[in-house]
């Protein structure tokens, strides 16, 4: 299988210098884009390749770029700045793929951002980096400095007139920064709260200027598409979705880690790459793409791991990083831990999310402790509806309901069995750690 994103990553994860990266073919795609292609040609090529967002949503990247206003024919109408922002916050539970790319091959990301900036007409690019990723920070900053010294960033790049400045911004944290408008608010130094849409970032994003936000893994595909073409890229996937994917696994697998494989690799084959379920046990369930994706079970082992394949069985590919549970895992504990995380990470902007998620956590905490009451399962069903898509300001609470809804679907009897026969005499108690984020 052809390695695309990870071919330059060494076992010790020590990245190449810019000279080594150039010897390996690096920066050739950037030169090709600037010297042989118009910005709109690059955007059209990425659109033709069918590259989809690897941060969780799976939105077509070329389509997203096409929303950006063009100023080539009317330069007098160009705003003060146009921005590219790469989301490297990586707060999704169970997800650690972008860290590998940033630590192992930072020049790939810097080149990709430079090409993307050229394609959308951006003159300033930011990496919005998770605050704990200090090793990524050190390596990315070194790569940016090397690229600047080599003339790949700055003014009149390669004599083409293209200008680009690139900066690192260390995040103060919060999962909500995975929502692009909340990320932009945080980058502006304000509270990380999602914005009303419209206007969308392409019209009014960072500091009110046209902005595109892309994920690290997504953007790292761009140099390879420019260098090798759309048909080559589409041929890497096994089904409709083109390209490779960095898949991950944590939890109850024999060899947790990351592997680059074609999109559409069958779930059972993917688990084999991680040594299967540890201790010879059986699979109970897994989160296929991080904590906000609905659960899959052993009945889904033939599922192709691409956007359509996982969607067809009621879940989402998400980040492609699985959290795996063996058959000895109590599902109530899994759901409680997830809902505790999402309750803590709510920005508190809208009532269903701010108050509903702690309520869900409280119910699950009492079920786990043997203090459940008749009607608790039905109350969880109600929360799935009231916190679902279209009921909250952003996708935070609907994402939290994904694993809960699927947990109720596949393990309803297991959850209901936790309610004691004399439960009507018990009172529902509030755990100390389930307070809402008022």
Token pair listed for 315: 């879940």
Q: Answer yes or no: is pLDDT of 428 > 50.
A: no
Q: Are residues 295 and 370 in the same domain?
A: no
CB 223 within 8 A of CB 95: no
Mean pLDDT for 303-326 is 96
Q: Are residues 114 and 224 in the same domain?
A: yes
**In the prediction, which pLDDT does 424 show?**
65
What b/e sequence results for 62-75 when a residue is b if at least 16 CB atoms lie within 10 Å of its CB, and e otherwise? bebbbebeeeeeee
Q: Domain boundary at 191, 207, 234, which?
A: 234
Specify if 119 maps to a domain.
Answer: yes
State what percent of residues in the chain have pLDDT above 70: 96
Q: Answer yes or no: is pLDDT of 176 > 70.
A: yes
DSSP string, 40-73: HHHHHHHHHHT-B-SSSS--BHHHHHHTS---SS
Q: Domain boundary at 176, 207, 234, which?
A: 234
Specify if 1 maps to a domain.
Answer: no
Q: Are residues 225 and 252 in the same domain?
A: no
**In the prediction, which pLDDT does 31 show?**
98
CB 233 within 8 A of CB 221: yes
Write the secondary structure of 204-231 as one string of H (helix), E (strand) and C (coil).
CCHHHCCEEEEEHHHHHCHHHHHHHCHH
**In the prediction, which pLDDT does 74 show?**
83
Residue with tokens 């900053």: 141
| CATH for 59 | 3.40.50.11540
Specify if 239 maps to a domain.
Answer: no
pTM for this prediction: 0.91
**177: which residues sit within 8 A by CB, 6+ positions away?**
87, 89, 91, 128, 171, 183, 186, 192
Cα torsion angle, 17, 224, 236, 211, sign: positive
Q: Domain boundary at 287, 302, 326, which?
A: 326
Give the length of the chain: 438
Specify if 304 maps to a domain.
Answer: yes
101 burial type by CB count under 10 A (0-12 exposed, 13-18 middle, 19+ buried)? buried
Q: Are residues 316 and 391 in the same domain?
A: no
Q: How confident is the model at residue 438 (pLDDT cuts 50, 70, 90)?
A: very low
Q: Are residues 191 and 204 in the same domain?
A: yes
Specify if 13 maps to a domain.
Answer: no
Write the secondary structure of 284-340 as one string of H (helix), E (strand) and C (coil).
EEEEECECCCCCECHHHCCCECCHHHHHHCCCCCCCCEEEEEECCCCHHHHHHHHHH
CB 335 within 8 A of CB 345: no
In tens, the pLDDT along 322-351 reads 999 999 999 999 999 999 999 999 998 899
Give the residue ranges of DSSP H helices in 11-133.
Answer: 18-23, 28-36, 39-49, 61-66, 97-104, 106-120
Q: Are residues 341 and 249 in the same domain?
A: no
- The neighbour count for residue 244, using CB atoms within 10 Å, is 23
End-to-end CA distance of the chain: 50
Q: Are residues 123 and 259 in the same domain?
A: no
| CATH for 302 | 3.10.20.600
> Using DSSP, how many helices (H) and how many strands (E) does the chain show?
18, 9
**In the prediction, which pLDDT does 383 show?**
96
Residue with tokens 């909340």: 182
Cα torsion angle, 124, 130, 131, 132, sign: negative
In tens, the pLDDT along 205-252 reads 999 999 999 999 999 999 999 999 999 999 999 988 899 999 999 999
Mean pLDDT for 8-23 is 94
Q: Are residues 341 and 395 in the same domain?
A: yes
Q: Answer yes or no: is pLDDT of 437 > 60.
A: no
Total domains, the chain: 3
**280: which residues sit within 8 A by CB, 6+ positions away?**
none
In tens, the pLDDT along 239-293 reads 888 999 999 999 999 999 999 999 999 999 999 999 999 999 999 999 999 999 9
> Which range of residues forms the domain containing residue 430?
331-434
* Structural Rg of the chain based on CA atoms: 23
Q: Are residues 322 and 337 in the same domain?
A: no
Specify if 6 maps to a domain.
Answer: no
Q: Are residues 350 and 376 in the same domain?
A: yes
CB 226 within 8 A of CB 25: no
Mean pLDDT for 311-319 is 95
| CATH for 341 | 1.20.1440.230
In tens, the pLDDT along 411-426 reads 999 999 999 987 664 4
Verify cis geometry, omega within 30 degrees of 0, for the bond prior to 278: no
Token pair listed for 317: 């590919």
Q: Are residues 200 and 294 in the same domain?
A: no
In tens, the pLDDT along 389-402 reads 999 989 999 999 99
Q: Answer yes or no: is pLDDT of 135 > 50.
A: yes
């Amino acid at each position: 299988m052809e390695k695309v994103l990870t071919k330059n990553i060494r076992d010790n994860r020590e990245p190449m210098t810019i000279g080594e990266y150039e010897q390996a073919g690096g920066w050739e795609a950037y030169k090709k884009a600037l010297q042989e292609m118009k910005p709109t040609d690059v955007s059209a090529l990425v659109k033709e390749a069918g590259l989809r967002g690897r941060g969780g949503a799976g939105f077509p990247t070329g389509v997203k770029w096409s929303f950006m206003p063009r100023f080539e024919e009317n330069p007098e109408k160009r705003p003060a700045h146009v921005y590219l922002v790469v989301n490297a916050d990586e707060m999704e539970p169970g997800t650690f793929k972008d860290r590998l790319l940033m630590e192992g091959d930072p020049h790939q990301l810097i080149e990709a951002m430079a090409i993307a900036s050229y394609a959308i007409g951006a003159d300033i690019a930011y990496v919005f980096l998770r605050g704990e990723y200090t090793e990524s920070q050190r390596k990315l900053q070194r790569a940016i400095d090397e690229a600047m010294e080599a003339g790949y960033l700055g003014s009149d790049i390669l004599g083409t007139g293209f200008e680009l400045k690139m900066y690192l911004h260390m995040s103060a944290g919060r999962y909500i920064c995975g929502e692009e408008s909340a990320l932009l608010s945080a980058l502006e130094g304000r509270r990380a709260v999602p914005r009303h849409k419209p206007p969308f970032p392409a019209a009014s994003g960072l500091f009110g200027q046209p902005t595109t936000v892309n994920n690290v893994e997504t953007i790292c595909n761009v140099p390879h598409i420019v260098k090798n073409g759309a048909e080559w890229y589409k041929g890497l996937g096994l089904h409709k979705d083109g390209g490779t994917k960095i898949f991950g696994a944590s939890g109850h697998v024999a060899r947790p880690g990351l592997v680059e494989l074609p999109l559409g690799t069958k779930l059972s084959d993917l688990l084999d790459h991680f040594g299967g379920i540890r201790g010879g046990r059986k699979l109970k369930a897994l989160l296929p793409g991080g904590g906000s994706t609905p659960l899959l079970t052993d009945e889904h082992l033939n599922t192709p791991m691409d956007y359509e394949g996982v969607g067809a069985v009621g879940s989402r590919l998400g980040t492609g990083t699985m959290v795996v549970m063996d058959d000895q895992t109590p599902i109530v504990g899994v759901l409680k831990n997830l809902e505790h995380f999402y309750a803590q990470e709510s920005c508190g902007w809208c009532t269903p999310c701010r108050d509903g998620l702690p309520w869900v956590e409280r119910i699950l905490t009492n079920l786990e402790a043997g203090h459940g009451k008749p009607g608790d399962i039905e109350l969880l069903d109600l929360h799935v509806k009231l916190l679902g898509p279209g009921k909250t300001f952003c996708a935070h609470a609907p994402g939290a309901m994904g694993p809960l809804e699927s947990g109720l679907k596949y393990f309803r009897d297991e959850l209901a069995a936790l309610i004691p026969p004399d439960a009507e005499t018990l009172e529902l108690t509030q755990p100390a750690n389930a307070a809402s984020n008022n």
